[in-house]
Structures are given as C-alpha cells and as structure tokens.
Amino acid sequence: MRTQSPYLLVSYAETNRVLPNPYQRVMVSVIVAAIVCIPFVAGGYFLHLMNLCSIAVIGAVGINLLTGYCGQLSLGQASFLAIGAFTTAILAQRFGLPFFVAIPASCCAGAMVGFLVGLPALRFRGIYLAITTLAMHYAIIYVLTDYQAVVGPSASAGITVPAPSLGGFTLNSERGWFYALLIVAVLVVMFGINLSRTYIGRAWIAIRDRDIAAEASGINVPYYKLLAFTISAALAALAGSLGAYFTTVVTVEEYTLELAIVYLAMIIVGGMGSITGAVLGAIFITLLPFGVERLFEVLPWQLGTTAFGIEQAAIGAAIIGFLLFEPDGLIEVYRRIATYFERWPFRYRELKGGSGR
C-alpha cells in the first residue's frame, strides 16, 4: 500500500481521476451509501420529492452543458422537455411500445429538435439567442397544443402514459422509481462530468470564454455549438420522458416558459459551468417550493390560495439574489467552506484572480 502524498501524481491514470484525493472518494462513497439507504427510513412523500429531484438533476445537467459550459443562453429547455414527454406519450400510449424503445426514441426526438433550435446559434450569441429560443419555445408549444387537442380525449385533458414494465415487473411504487431514477441520474451526472473533461468539454469552455479565440485555435465552433444544443436537448428530453412515465399523464400546460426559467434558475443557483453545481441547484430549486410551504405551516398566518405565488416569488428571489450576491452559485459557497477547513487554522485570503471575487 502506497503512503505518498495525494498531490503527487505518478501516472496518467491518476491525473485522469474524477476524484483525485482519498478524502473526496470517502465522502462520495458515504453520500452514495446514504442515498441508497434512504428508502428504508423515509416515507413516501420524501421519496416523491427525491424522485422529482432526480428528474430535475437530469434536465439541469443538460442545460448546464449548454449554458454553463458552452455559454449559449437558452430559454427553450421547457420545449425540449415537452418534446421528450410527448414522444414518450405517443409511443407508449398510442403505439404501445415498451419503455426501452420509447425513452431512447424520445431522446432522439429531443436531439433533433435541439439541433433545429441550435441553428440560430450559428448567427447570434447572448441575448439575441435567448430571444430566438424563446420564440422557438412558443412555436413548439403551439404545435403540441394543437396536437393534444386532436389526439387527447379533450383539449385540456392530456395524454395518459402507462407505467413502464419489463417481464412482469411494473414500475409503479415510489421506492422502485427512486432506484430507477437514481441510477439514470447518476449515469447522467457521470456522463456530464466526463464529457466536460474531454476535448468536447474544453472546446465548449473555449467557445464560452471567447468564441473568436476558440475559432482561431482551430475549434470547429458551429459543430461544437450544435453538439451542445443536441446533447442538452437530448438530456432534457430524457428528463421529460422519465417525467411523463413518473407522473403518468402529459399535458402541454405543464411546459410553460416558467419551467424553462426554473431550469435556468437551477444552474444559476447551483453554479454555472459545474456539474456538481447543477446537481445542487436542481435539488435546491426543486425543494424550494416545498420548503416555503413547510415554513408557512410553522408561521402563524395561513397562505391559502396565495401559496403558489409565494413559491414562485421565492424562485424569482433566488435567481436575483444569487446573480447579485453569489454569481458562482452554491458550488462556490461549498468551495469557500471547504477551503476554510482545508487551511484551518490559517486564514489565507483568496488570491486575486482566483475563484474569489
């Protein structure tokens, strides 16, 4: 057994490790073990929340690859989710296809739509791109509204999705969903982390930081931008598809512009350009409305019909608060705390130009 410093790297395999030091490996194992044990101690309500978080994590990793890494501001995330959900609903309900066909097909459909929505990104950047994706969102939602009115039992009833089943086992309990969604979410997170460390991820970061310089260094900017849109939309469609199976009904009213903004809020709150940040942000924003609800149950006055408004306002306040006071998100808060303990009992100031401001 080797007892050298964790900072001394002697092989390429060590430099390529996702978790470079033993402390991180222990910590991640403990967290994973704790999460796996959750269903044995927690109630159905808590599991339901965790399942919502898992779905949000998948979508948030998708939009973080696009907006956080590649720097392409997108307000079209809700339409990608809607495409995934509707493809699943049509394939599973109308054609009776099993989930292992419907889910990959939904991802492909999402990827294709993402490619189309990404085409304007070859001409614009920044806010113009955001406005174009906004217009695309409404165009897609209009088509789906029309479709729902034609296919569904009535214009507003939505399409029901049968529970996924394989060989006599039907996935319909919260506990079963918990493990299924957890596995997919972990795979997506690992995919995101690894992708961001490869040539593709570094090309995206280069495009985000300065697209002209990226082009000058030989990066095929249009290709990588479209790739970011395609992958991001595929992941969003995966989240939409799983969400459709999970909630068992798909209605177009669910996929509003607010949903796209909520996904944007997740990566703002979590930290743009960090997969761990996307996970933290997704959990934070998903639990925020429920947290606010609980808070007001404790407080003396009753909310009644205004509860929805207060929850929305909390999300808006989170967006503004993090952009103004903590632009690098929750991950930066974590890093600061970690640095404090790492250096304890010394208190070095952050170096100028580092991650601090």
Q: Which residue's CB is nearer to another protein, number 3 or number 305?
A: 305
Q: Which residue's CB is nearer to another protein, number 142 or number 199?
A: 142
Q: Which residue's CB is nearer to another protein, number 295 or number 320?
A: 320
Q: Does 142 bind another protein (CB under 8 A)?
A: yes
User: CB under 8 A: which stretch of 91-99, 102-110, 118-126, 285-293 binds another protein?
Assistant: 118-126
Smallest gap from residue 172 Cβ to another protein (A): 34
Smallest gap from residue 150 Cβ to another protein (A): 13
Whole-angstrom distance, CA of residue 296 vs CA of residue 300 = 8
Which of 26, 27, 32, 139: binder of another protein (CB under 8 A)? 139
Which of 107, 111, 136, 144: binder of another protein (CB under 8 A)? 136
Smallest gap from residue 176 Cβ to another protein (A): 35
Footprint on residues 269-328 left by another protein (CB under 8 A): 305-306, 308-313, 315-320, 323-324, 327
Report the candidate in 65, 35, 69, 357 with the shortest Cα–Cα distance to residue 208: 69
Footprint on residues 159-218 left by another protein (CB under 8 A): 211
Smallest gap from residue 148 Cβ to another protein (A): 12
Smallest gap from residue 48 Cβ to another protein (A): 24
Max CA pair span of the chain = 68
Q: Which residue's CB is nearer to another protein, number 187 or number 213?
A: 213
Task: Show contacts of 219-225: CB within 8 Å, 24+ apart.
Answer: 222/122, 224/70, 224/200, 225/70, 225/72, 225/118, 225/121, 225/122
Quick one: tokens of 293? 């609800």
> Which residue has tokens 């050298």?
4
Residues sharing a CB contact under 8 Å with residue 307, sequence separation 6 or more, in sequence order: 292, 293, 296
CB atoms within 10 A of CB 221: 17
By DSSP bridging, strand 165-166 and strand 169-170 are antiparallel
Which of 24, 25, 35, 120: binder of another protein (CB under 8 A)? 120
Quick one: tokens of 292? 């606010």
Whole-angstrom distance, CA of residue 353 vs CA of residue 356 = 7
Q: Which residue's CB is nearer to another protein, number 34 or number 323?
A: 323
Q: Which residue's CB is nearer to another protein, number 10 or number 127?
A: 127
Report phi then psi at 288, rounded to 5: -55, -50
Range 136-173 burial, b when 16+ CB lie within 10 A, else e: bbeebbeebbeebeeebeeeeebbebeebeeeeeebee
Q: Does 130 bind another protein (CB under 8 A)?
A: yes
Q: Does 126 bind another protein (CB under 8 A)?
A: yes
User: CB under 8 A: which stretch of 5-13, 131-139, 164-172, 195-203 binds another protein?
Assistant: 131-139
Which of 28, 135, 166, 295: binder of another protein (CB under 8 A)? 135
Helix (H, G, I), strand (E, B) or coil at 249: strand
Q: Which residue's CB is nearer to another protein, number 223 or number 308?
A: 308
- Identify residue 219 by its one-letter amino acid code: I
Question: Count residues contacting another protein (CB under 8 A)?
Answer: 44
Whole-angstrom distance, CA of residue 351 vs CA of residue 354 = 6
Residues in contact with another protein by CB under 8 A are 73, 120, 122-128, 130-132, 134-136, 138-139, 142, 145-146, 211, 221, 258, 261, 264-265, 268, 305-306, 308-313, 315-320, 323-324, 327
